[in-house]
A = this chain, B = another copy of it.
């Protein structure tokens, strides 16, 4: 999953990026509203963490601009403590969740997970494809209840496929959601990861749709 963090406070931004990366997300960062708005309109993020107090263009304007432009990416806004009016405005402007600063990092992580899950259309925190089960809270993957060890990138690939199970996911789409901003287009890394996943999982749940991409089997 690929995230955008729009935060001007360098310290907080670093903390967020590090922690979210450690959780296995591909994270892009924007330091002001202008950059944030541009990235949010251009790149296909799975969720955005948006601070409301920003240089150049403030967060609310960014959010409104996105929604006006039809960008439906789920957004969590960060507001200074106690500024209730901001929260309300944020929700009105199309935010999906909000968090008051200073916030608890674990809570943010939980909310991000839940948000991505909801917007991909999964009610439960566990996603299952046949015997393969992904627990979105712990990030743990099991096959028939038996845990499977995956590397960071293997996990990202599988996780994205499972969140979109039943649909064909093209190689380019996978690449875009798995790597942060700079990535190489001409390479077969995706195929390599899929190959390793298939071997590690030991079950035939990742179907290749020749010429189009990959699809996780529904049942």
Q: What are 16 A-B pairs at a CB distance below 8 A?
A: A18-B172, A22-B170, A22-B172, A23-B212, A42-B102, A44-B104, A70-B99, A70-B107, A71-B104, A71-B107, A106-B173, A137-B167, A138-B168, A139-B167, A140-B166, A151-B211
| A17 CB, min distance to chain B CBs, angstroms | 12
Contacts of A212 in B (CB 8 A): 22-24, 139, 152
Does the CB pair B152–A139 fall under 8 Å?
Answer: no
Q: How far is the CA of A72 from the CA of B110 in the complex (A)?
A: 12
Whose C-beta in chain B lies nearest to the C-beta of A153?
B211
Contacts of A210 in B (CB 8 A): 151-152
1/0 contact trace for A158-177 toward B, CB 8 Å?
00000000111011110000
**Is A19 an interface position by the 8 A CB rule?**
yes
Does the CB pair B106–A44 fall under 8 Å?
Answer: yes
Tally chain A residues at the interface, Cβ within 8 Å: 40
Chain A residues in the interface with B (C-beta under 8 A) = 18-19, 22-24, 38, 41-42, 44, 69-73, 81, 99-100, 102-107, 137-140, 151-152, 166-168, 170-173, 210-213
Does the CB pair A104–B172 fall under 8 Å?
Answer: no
| A212 CB, min distance to chain B CBs, angstroms | 6
From known contacts A22-B213, A210-B152, infer whether A69 and B168 are also in contact, taking CB-CB under 8 Å: no
Q: How far is the CA of A104 from the CA of B23 in the complex (A)?
A: 25
| A213 CB, min distance to chain B CBs, angstroms | 7
Does the CB pair A211–B152 fall under 8 Å?
Answer: yes
Q: How far is the CA of A212 from the CA of B159 in the complex (A)?
A: 15
| A42 CB, min distance to chain B CBs, angstroms | 4
Q: How far is the CA of A23 from the CA of B104 in the complex (A)?
A: 25
Does the CB pair A172–B138 fall under 8 Å?
Answer: no
From known contacts A102-B38, A152-B210, A172-B19, infer whether A107 and B166 are also in contact, taking CB-CB under 8 Å: no
Does the CB pair B211–A170 fall under 8 Å?
Answer: no
From known contacts A100-B69, A105-B44, A107-B72, infer whether A139 and B151 are also in contact, taking CB-CB under 8 Å: no
Contacts of A23 in B (CB 8 A): 170, 212
